[in-house]
Structure 1
Amino acid sequence: MKQPTDFIEAKNISVSFSQHEIFSNLSFKIFDDDFFCLIGKNGIGKTTLVKTILGQLHKTNGEIIFSKKFKSSLSFGYVPQFRNIDQDYPLSIRNFVSLRLFQPLVPWFSKKEKDIVDTALKRVGIFDIASRKLGSASGGEKQKAYLAQAILYDPQLLILDESTASLDTVSKFDVMDAVKNLNDKYGTTVIFISHDIPLVEKYGKHSLELKGDGKYSYKKIN
């Protein structure tokens, strides 16, 4: 069996705000092609930890080591929690996904740009409904549109921040199946922030549970 290689390693990291310690001496690894699940109650510091990993927040102590494979800001995509979109939202799914394209100085897209969008739509399974207005799409279809937008430039790391929290059960598994396909078929490393233990147990490869008071649990799932 192929030995997993490190993608991100955290060594004894600590973060504090106004003398309030969020977490301390936290150590774990995220492997290349990992499906890494970050769990814990609200306010425990899950999103803070991800921002710290990405260098958006300053850590108090410790070290975060990235693989040389992780090269630039385009190397990660981010899918937020479900966002309400009005039914009369005018953009189609395709045009919404296209918003993340680097805009040229001309008001049309090149063939290369169209191909980039088509590839993302196909990978998450919404190419056939790409002309549908985003406002009239189901909750799961909207989340897949956000997912397609996040993977537009084929990121090495995909971060899902409670992105299935407001979906019904069928839609949750549909969206997560699309994420698993990205992980399995295209080698996208995933960080999944969630409270949903059944989803974590079904899709995750490793988990880190923040428990507060400096305690945490890191383990292999599948």
Structure 2
Amino acid sequence: MTAPLLTVDHLSFGFRDRPLYEDLSFTLPRGSMTSLIGANGVGKTTLVRLLMGELQPTAGTITFTADMKLGYVPQFRNIDSEFPLTIASFVQLNQLGHGFPWHTKREKAALHQALTQTHLLERRTLAMGRASGGEKQKAYLAQALLTQPNFLILDEATASLDVNTKEELMGLVKELNETLGLTVLFVTHDLGLAKAYTDQYLLLTPGHYEMRATAQMDIATMPDELKSGEEEEAAH
């Protein structure tokens, strides 16, 4: 059996007198799509920070396979209409890890590949300020793909987008999941998207968690805070 890309084993973490998790354990199989859901304040963002190594657990372990390479897509952030960079130049901002004032042949090839994978190649010369919300979010996705990750975290990446754009973005992520074998963790309040596009869900509630196949998800029985969150998402 192939080892999971990620194993979280008996994880505990909290802030001062406010514990968030006690004995949290789950795995992310390679090539899986998992949604991380829960009401505000239950620790979704904190768990992402733990997985990214920005925080350390108070107990338990987080174990990745040796070949794990992480890509991160943030929540949609609108960009001013006067923003001067083109889509291609914006994506290239994620290639500023060296001191050279130019981009190498390898970096240019990686840019071309990421723009192709996100269906932005023909829009690469468009100013980011004039791009649609979906194109802007695809540009953030392209940034994440530049390093050729095998683990992708979408951190509320569909929030504030309209319904059609959410579907388009998640359809693209599903395509990348299938063609590249990406393991995806999708942090969201949108239960409909979680059910439609992910294989399993990790539900966090105060003092409790559950990991189940999304085929078993019954939206009607979800906590009221989540169902109201879904309605707010759908209203955009």
TM bin, normalised by shorter chain, reads over 0.9
Aligned to 2:230: none
Instruction: Figure out how many residues of one structure are paired with residues of the other and give that number.
Output: 215
Q: Which runs of no fewer than 5 residues in structure 1 stay unpaired? A: none
Aligned to 1:176: 170
Structure 1 residues 161 and 136, CA gap change in structure 2 (3 angstroms): same
How far has the Cα of 1:105 moved from its partner? 4.6
Q: CA RMSD in A?
A: 1.4
SS in 2 for 1:85: coil
Aligned to 2:209: 216
For residue 48 of structure 1, the aligned residue among 35, 46, 49 is 46
Aligned to 1:82: 76
CA separation in 2, counterparts of 1:110 and 1:57? 33
For residue 93 of structure 1, the aligned residue among 87, 91, 97 is 87
TM-score (norm 2): 0.87
Does residue 164 in structure 1 map to residue 158 in structure 2? yes
CA separation in 2, counterparts of 1:37 and 1:82? 18
How far has the Cα of 1:161 moved from its partner? 0.5
What amino acid is the match of 1:218? M
Structure 1 residues 45 and 110, CA gap change in structure 2 (3 angstroms): same
How far has the Cα of 1:4 moved from its partner? 5.6
Structure 1 residues 167 and 4, CA gap change in structure 2 (3 angstroms): farther
Aligned to 2:31: 33
Aligned to 1:24: 22
What amino acid is the match of 2:55? L
Does residue 143 in structure 1 map to residue 140 in structure 2? no
TM-score (norm 1): 0.92
Q: Which has more helix, going by share of residues?
A: 2
CA separation in 2, counterparts of 1:58 and 1:209? 21
Structure 1 residues 221 and 104, CA gap change in structure 2 (3 angstroms): same
Aligned to 1:199: 193
CA separation in 1, counterparts of 2:33 and 2:70? 14
CA separation in 2, counterparts of 1:79 and 1:6? 22
CA separation in 1, counterparts of 2:102 and 2:65? 37
Q: Which runs of no fewer than 5 residues in structure 2 stay unpaired? A: 216-236
For residue 107 of structure 1, the aligned residue among 101, 110, 115 is 101
Q: Percent identity?
A: 42
CA separation in 2, counterparts of 1:106 and 1:215? 49
